[in-house]
Amino acid sequence: METVELKFRIYDGTDLGHSTYASSMTVATLKQKLVAEWPQDKIITPTSVNDVKIIHAGKVLEDDNTLADSLISIGDLPGGVITMHVVLQPPKAIDAIAEEDGELMGAMNSCRCTIL
């Protein structure tokens, strides 16, 4: 069984879920794992897997696809970790908070990338 090492970057630049995953794992299963492990000290947290979108190589990954189906580059980076971005679909309550706190909205709409 092939595996891939992944970590997931959330809206504030925090990485979570750094682990090795089977290429046969579905995106829906990954989302369940991320929701279960989401740091509780964050202002914005997902309430269900439907709030979470995983992005890799500029594409939103479909729930029913496996990592292999999603064309995750397995073996392209020997010993490397693939970083995926996690975006939350904000519930209505978050919209209300964001209107009151412009800084929070700026954090949610920003993206930081490091090119090595």
Q: List, for residues 56-95, the tens digit of each pLDDT value.
A: 888 999 999 998 888 665 545 556 788 899 998 865 555 5
Backbone φ and ψ of 97, nearest 5°? -65, -45
Q: Which amino acid is at 115?
A: I
Q: What is the DSSP string of 14-33?
A: -EEEEEEEETT-BHHHHHHH
Q: Which amino acid is at 87?
A: V
* Angle at 55 (CA atoms; ends 73, 11), nearest 5 degrees: 130
Instruction: Residue count of the chain, please give it.
Output: 116
Q: Count CB neighbours of 24 within 10 A.
A: 13
Are 9 and 15 in contact, with CB atoms under 8 Å apart?
yes
Provide the residue ranges of all domains of the chain, joining segments of one domain with +. 3-108
What's 49's DSSP letter? G
What is the third-level CATH fold of 3-108? Answer: Ubiquitin-like (UB roll) (3.10.20)
pLDDT given at position 113: 62
Q: List, for residues 23-39, the tens digit of each pLDDT value.
A: 899 999 999 999 999 98
